[in-house]
Structure 1
Amino acid sequence: MIRIRAYRAIDDTATCEKFVEGHMKILKAFGITMITSANVEWFQDPDTYVIVAEDPDNGKVLGGARVQRAGGLYPLPIEKAVKDHDDSIHEVVQEYSKEGTAELCGLWNSREIAGMGIGSVFLTRTAVCIAPQIGLKSMFALCAAYTVQMAQKAGYRIATFLGNNGTFYYPKEDLVATAMLLHDAEDLSTADPQERDEILSLRENPLQVKTEAGRRGATFELLYDLQIKRTI
């Protein structure tokens, strides 16, 4: 069984450290050393929320993602990543932040759970699930090519008003990233109907065990623990 747990970064910095350690290993394996979502300043950011896939027995972090609210201590990673290509990103984020926006960023999974869809399907799903808990009407993402389709299923659409029709070379010149925006994080009107049902089920019951199927067809149990508990 794998647990997918959501928490506010400042409430569990020990797990944040495990998150970064695992994420950096994956980035280095792909030859990526400079990436805006891989810093550690967010450990002390009250507007950053973390989702981890972890072993419930020993707490080992096997994958994760972050949701960073706009308007807090730091600019969104997408702002820092895109500004040299399209400086309108700051105005765009500021406009959406009036009603509550954030960025889904830093998605990764370890090789131990590769092929299960944790780093694409389930972390995207749970990030969208927690949006109402943290007051979000919309959510940005900067997606690698292989995660665009999953983001679209969750309701994201390509932000064609940014960059080259929504695309940028990032985090290095031979990789293309796609800027995406979930306009309706509450009702999910643009989401795939089946995916919308999955997200709404988790919102209704954020603590549950479900048998899920991975991208390669194998089934496994996920313990969802998505009710964010504030201790500070």
Structure 2
Amino acid sequence: MRFYTGHLKLLEIYFGIAQVTSGNADWMQHENTIVIIVEDDTRTKTYGGARVQLADGVLPLPIETAIGKYDPKIYSYVKKGSAEICGLWNSKEVAGMGIGSQVLVRVGVVLSAQLPIDTYHVLCAPITTRVGKRVGFVIDESLGNKGTFFYPKDDFLATAMLIDDCFELPHADPKEKLLISDLRENPIQSKIEVGPKGSYEVNYNLRIPTHVHSAL
């Protein structure tokens, strides 16, 4: 609920919630959705988050709902073994620290090694396309206008991106690949991260509980 409330506030500010498919709350009852949150030590204050939603034929991925009417090919792309990183946001309090643009995207890719998936989708705003490329996403030029769509508003450009090998990450930046590998091998650890506004400590706990594995 803390993830949902924080995300909703930002969507209302920037777009008006009705226009953004990732603002839909159906995922809250979906057993194949994993929520990632960044919170303080007391676990009462949430600074940001993202979701990983697996394609299971029960709940469409947000990218299907968002661009399906513009390019129906997305429906044949999304099948079992696909997932999407979506709903990424961070609060104004941590703006400029790299949490939304760096840490959460990396964590989403880290988690893919624990999941039964090989293909990752994401729909990026212009500012996060660069971050997506760094962790291994490539623009899916077979969709839309060479991968781009006007979404969620006519003056806002979104880019469909794809990782087609979640394990090897052939297109990831070499430095980023090392960071991802380290978190995959040591999912519970503390480390200093450096963002545009300086450094800060993050206590990572990226082990997906076993009951989630059994549900998948």
TM over 0.5: yes
Alignment partner, residue 184 of structure 2 = 203
The superposition leaves residues 27-57 of structure 1 with CA deviations (integer Å, 9 ceiling, x where unpaired) of 1221332211111111111111111111121
Of 23-32 and 128-137, more deviation after overlay is shown by 23-32
8 A Cα contact 1:212 1:220, kept in partner: yes
Q: Distance in 2 between the 1:113 and 1:148 partners?
A: 20
Instruction: Give the gaps of 5 or more residues in structure 2.
Output: none
Trace 1:15-30 onto structure 2 (pairs within 5 A): 17-30=1-14
Q: Distance in 1 between the 2:44 and 2:106 partners?
A: 21
Alignment partner, residue 202 of structure 2 = 222
Alignment partner, residue 83 of structure 2 = 102
Trace 1:70-89 onto structure 2 (pairs within 5 A): 70-89=55-74
Alignment partner, residue 5 of structure 1 = none
Aligned pair partner of 2:40 in 37, 48, 55: 55
Trace 1:93-172 onto structure 2 (pairs within 5 A): 93-94=78-79, 97=80, 100-172=81-153
TM-score, normalising length: structure 2: 0.94
Q: Distance in 2 between the 1:31 and 1:158 partners?
A: 24
8 A Cα contact 2:15 2:152, kept in partner: no
Q: Offset of 1:135 from its aligned partner?
A: 1.4
8 A Cα contact 1:128 1:185, kept in partner: yes
**With CA pairs under 8 Å and 6+ residues apart, which has the higher RCO, 1 or 2?**
1
Q: Distance in 2 between the 1:31 and 1:147 partners?
A: 17
2:78 is paired with a residue whose SS is helix
Q: Distance in 1 between the 2:196 and 2:83 partners?
A: 27
1:168 is paired with a residue whose SS is strand
8 A Cα contact 1:129 1:199, kept in partner: yes
Q: Percent identity?
A: 45
Q: Distance in 1 between the 2:44 and 2:108 partners?
A: 20
8 A Cα contact 1:47 1:72, kept in partner: no
Alignment partner, residue 156 of structure 2 = 175
8 A Cα contact 2:98 2:196, kept in partner: yes
Instruction: Give the gaps of 5 or more residues in structure 1.
Output: 1-16
The superposition leaves residues 74-103 of structure 1 with CA deviations (integer Å, 9 ceiling, x where unpaired) of 011000000111011101113xx3xx1101
TM-score, normalising length: structure 1: 0.88
Q: Offset of 1:130 from its aligned partner?
A: 0.5
1:130 is paired with a residue whose SS is helix
Q: Distance in 1 between the 2:57 and 2:199 partners?
A: 39
Letter in 1 for 2:199: T
Q: Distance in 2 between the 1:112 and 1:211 partners?
A: 19
Alignment partner, residue 69 of structure 1 = 54
Length, aligned pairs only: 211
Q: Offset of 1:231 from its aligned partner?
A: 4.6
8 A Cα contact 1:36 1:81, kept in partner: yes
2:191 is paired with a residue whose SS is strand
Extract structure 1 runs of 4+ deviating beyond 4 A: none
Superposition RMSD in Å: 1.2
Letter in 1 for 2:15: G
